[in-house]
Amino acid sequence: MIAIDLRLQRDVLALVLREHPILLTLPALAGRVLADSRTLTGGVALARALRDLDNEGLVFSDGLLIQPSRPALYVKRLLGEG
């Protein structure tokens, strides 16, 4: 995993946690975390970040809506951010 992938994962997770309980759509998320949300490379990177966060149990995504998992929300509370 390269540093840029990890940075995008951190950005995505931070935004999803900050916006909770509001559910973010994939286009809204892309518009807020990507410099140009209409590029193929940005879309692929975002899809990869969501896949990895989902695989690790930190977010749930149905392909359109994104929300944090209960463990991610618990860690947020432990860190005093929620």
User: Which residue positions in the chain have pLDDT lower than 50?
Assistant: none
CATH code at 3-78: 1.10.10.10
CB atoms within 10 A of CB 68: 25
Q: What is the pLDDT of residue 1?
A: 64
**Nearest to residue 62, comparing CAs of 70, 54, 72?**
54
Q: What is the pLDDT of residue 82?
A: 67
Contact call for residues 73 and 18 (beta carbons, < 8 A) = no
Residues β-bridged to residue 66? 24, 61
Where do the domains of the chain lie? Answer: 3-78
pTM of the model: 0.91
